[in-house]
Structure 1
């Protein structure tokens, strides 16, 4: 679960971000603030993982709020702004992205996906000097119980090559077999180890080491091909984290 705070002096802008966050089950809203001073006090007390924060506010700006927080308490930040001329200072303060107002839905999802990925890496980093107490101890799914006729079989997560949405359910693809799982893709995306599985489309999750080829398309989407030859489309909303993961594993786009 990612603990999130929202800071914006415009009530409509603040409520718009909160409404978008409500669609994501792995997000817990821990605070909302209408000015920099109250935000600074609130963020010191709640210590969220991520903050959506307006850059320009009366009194104390969003960047000033972040700068006033000790580095150990400073959350990841997605900046809300009408301008993009503050990049250097912003990224010194742990800002991972910015959203231009009015906020575009696709860019919102893209920024949130980046935060999810970084949060997961923080929690699992083996070289961290000490554990992040905000990460919790929840384990990722290692097995799935699936129905095959009248019997129940157990599928190891390591054997799953890709998963696709099937209405309110999901289908696990394991070799030549497909198993219907009575869980939504959104729920599964929060239960799978992000070091091994990555979402590439709103209806598709793949096991990263099963990707054999990636071909960029003109609209910023990409065509993937798995080791067994299965083709699938990767949406531009998810393409950046996918490219970063593939690059880290030695793959190159073709």
Structure 2
């Protein structure tokens, strides 16, 4: 019998454990991990790449709906929402062909959900686009033994290196689980280099270099490279 790997994300420990137990009893779902908040959940989704995520909607700091908007569409798992009864939320899911479970989870309803998961092999990204936020107003990051929620408007730039994706503000640098692709698509950050995104409003100076290259100095005096490929587009957006 085919089996699926699953991650359960819910800030309520009892609800999380109860659902994990029900899933294990089906003998079709292998729960490979759990998370008590969306930020930890995002990290585990990216690292473990589960087939399906059972995602609570009502969570503090970052909701399940907001987390959905932070996932990379190229590697997105199937998602089943878990929610306390809310007629508006339920109607939204039904209108968009979403699958959802109401708390407390009914084993018979869970069985139907699992049958559906195995029936439809591929995720429809358009389905998720209908309900996921089109823009991100905040970026969850991990700092020195702490979780940091950075307002998108405060970001100077985002960049990637061998250790991950980093979000820089005038005051700090923190690591994010979001990809540069998602940040480019869902924030006002603009691509200026294969490894860099820039907030145009945070540019202090652009220095034009030889060979069609350039260098940006941000308000916080951080240097950001601009490659030939993106210089023309950047100039146009700045009105040059």
Q: TM-score, normalised by structure 2?
A: 0.46
- Say which structure, 1 or 2, has more relative contact order (CA 8 Å, 6+ apart): 2
Q: TM-score, normalised by structure 1?
A: 0.43
